[in-house]
Amino acid sequence: MAQLHLGVVSTYPPREDGIATYTRDLLEAVCTRDSHISPQIAAITDPDAFYAYPRQVHWEIEQGNPDSYAEIGRIFTRARVDVVSLQHEFGLFGELPATGEDHTPALLETLHKPLVTTLHTVLPQPRPDIRAAVRTLCARSASVIVMAHLGAKILVEDYEIMRDTVVTIPHGVPVVRPMATERMKRTLRLEGRTVIATFGLLRPHKGLEDAIRAMPTIRDQYPNVLYLIMGETHPQVRKVEGERYRAELVALARQLGVSRQVRFLNQYLEQQTLIRYLQATDIYLTPYHDRSQITSGTLAYALGCGRAIVSTPYIYASEALAEGRGLLAEFESPESIARCVLLYLDNPEFRAQTQERALEYGRMMAWPSVGLQYAEALQRAARREHA
């Protein structure tokens, strides 16, 4: 099989955001499953930042500068690139939902290579300008990848995208060796605690204040409970607001008298460290406020580790936790969160059954399988160009 030269447009580590981590893990999985694929990355870099990128990053795109997006389109068109993978999130290509600014067309106008687009956000019942922008991007793409079947349904019904161009491929999770929860608690010095956890970059609208407000009710019945909030403040939020959101959460826990039951790990966790904490977790929680969220790497990881999960019913969680794989709490309702958590804690057998279903589902999302599906989609797009 001939070598496939893959261009990639995305954020990339050491930049700290979910799409950067996802792209790194995805490319590792793709290249492991298909050694004939070699990536060349154009990393979207936030203004005034400097990152020591690995050698796979050949170019940088200045986030927010339309000329920089257009230039990478020209570079890929001239370069030895067979197909381009675009990881799309509105905030990385302007701020279309907030300000109407969209730099995606600047890239599309100069890029003349087959394109495979992964949509990390698909807004249901979109505004006309958002609908038009997504339709333009999808029309230019040989394949459009989403991570949930509901996302594909929204694209077809609300955006009128042709069904045969939309491919659903799960988020992807590491292959995790099973580990007894109590054993991992001892390793992390969490023995004797009932551990509830949330991880990810902190920013408003994550709903963490709702989870903290649920803690007094949970603590009253399970005094040994500990809620771990793991992750540093999102770098873009920190630039504008500093640590205001974290300070508000700390103050809320103190006000409610649950400071001893709420612990913050203010650091960016590497994958293996994160998995260890997940393996020590009794209940994983995503209390997010964004109803239209179509993917969640944190929830995917929790499924991959076979955790008992409580989540608000945003799009991705509604699908991932269906058929008994988790519990859905009402949006912005500490009372509903507490009820779901207590349902698990009061019924160990029910919790164990839910964990088994979550783990079985998580195995289907393992990176080796996801990497193979992506490799096939990229090869199809390249073959179609040369057919």
* 117, 208: one domain: no
Q: Please provide the DSSP assignment of 252-266 as one string.
A: HHHHTT-GGGEEEE-
Tell me which DSSP letter residue 17 carries. S
pTM (2 d.p.): 0.89
pLDDT for the residue numbered 34: 86
Q: Kindly write down the DSSP assignment for every residue of 331-342, as one continuous string.
A: TT-HHHHHHHHH
With beta carbons less than 8 A apart as the criterion, state whether 25 and 366 touch: no
Looking at the fold, whether 151 and 93 belong to one and the same domain comes out as yes
Pair (146, 166) in one structural domain: yes
CA dihedral 213, 214, 217, 223 (to 10 degrees): -100
Instruction: Give the integer Cα–Cα distance in Å for 208 and 38.
Output: 40
Is the same domain home to 223 and 279?
Answer: yes
Check residue 385 and give its pLDDT: 63
Q: Give the domain range for residue 234.
A: 181-363
Pair (164, 288) in one structural domain: no
* Whether residues 71 and 102 fall in one domain: yes
Please indicate, yes or no, whether residues 370 and 358 belong to a single structural domain of this protein.
no
DSSP 8-state class, residue 86: E
74-98 confidence digits (pLDDT tens): 999 999 999 999 999 998 998 877 7
Beta strands in the chain (DSSP E): 4-10, 37-45, 57-62, 83-88, 94-95, 101-102, 115-119, 143-146, 166-168, 194-199, 225-230, 262-265, 283-286, 308-311, 327-328
Q: Total structural domains in the chain?
A: 2
Residue 67, domain CATH: 3.40.50.2000
Same-domain check for residues 160 and 187:
no
> Residue 306 is encoded by which pair of tokens?
């076979």
Are 130 and 197 contained in the same domain? no
113 and 245 in a single domain? The answer is: no
pLDDT score of 238: 85
Residues 36 and 57 in one domain: yes
Copy the structure tokens of residue 217: 């009710």
Q: 54: cis peptide before it, omega within 30°?
A: no
> Which segments in the chain show pLDDT lower than 50?
none
Give tens-digit pLDDT for 257-286: 999 999 999 888 888 889 999 999 999 999
pLDDT of residue 256: 97
Distance CA 286, CA 331 (A): 11
Verify that 187 and 168 share a domain, yes or no: no
